[in-house]
Amino acid sequence: MPSANPRTALLLIDIQQGMFGPDEICHEPERLLANASALLERARATRVPVFHVQHCEEGGPLAPSTAAWQIHPQVAPRDGEPVIQKWACSSFYNTDLDQRLRVAGVGRLVIAGLQSDFCIDTACRVAQTLGYAVTLAGDAHSTMDNGVLAAEQIIRHHNRVLSGIVEKVAPAAEIAF
């Protein structure tokens, strides 16, 4: 059941330098960055809280303090925008994200970022079960080919599956704050 609190926040997940090359390049990176950046600009312009999530891996490609770990400059946090560091697929697991959202009075989330089949899917499902009304920006998340499916298929599949779980899946340009 969605929260009765109508305040919306933008949740940008794992839009980090390492996902844009040279080792891993997400599908249609320009589209992802343009749409996530547009959401971010609209959220800031309307004073909607923005939360950034940053994936961490000990000794992996997204090891803290490495160049790949940094949030992409096109969507970089401003002073006062929280950055939640996570060590698992879920933005909520062993983090204070839920607590911060509740303190901020947030009941609705707009979600964008990486990777569609891991952290985006998990964030949508967990947020919904925690009572948040979730809108997934259907053209502002991405992933990579996985050896079984092409990234484009994975994105389309998750938009379809998650449309039956979250409040809605919509193009970024149609999401109002």
Q: What is the pLDDT of residues 44-84, one digit of tens each?
A: 999 999 999 999 999 888 999 999 999 999 999 999 999 99
Nearest C-alpha neighbor of 17 from the set 57, 88, 58, 73: 73
Q: What is the mean pLDDT of residues 109-115?
A: 98
- Structure pTM? 0.96
* Amino acid letter, residue 136: L
Rounded to 5 degrees, φ, ψ at 153 are -65, -40
For residue 105, is it left (φ>0), alpha (ψ between -120 and 50) or beta? left
Categorize the per-residue pLDDT at 1 as very low, low, confident or very high, splitting at 50, 70 and 90: very low
CA distance 154 to 160: 10
pLDDT at 2: 47
Nearest to 18 by CA among 57, 60, 69: 69
Q: What is the pLDDT of residues 89-110, one digit of tens each?
A: 999 999 999 999 999 999 999 9
- The pair of structure tokens assigned to 101 is 């959202």
pLDDT band at 4 (very low <50, low <70, confident <90, very high): low
- Going along the chain from its start, the domains and CATH numbers come out as 7-174 (3.40.50.850)
Cross-strand partners of 158: none
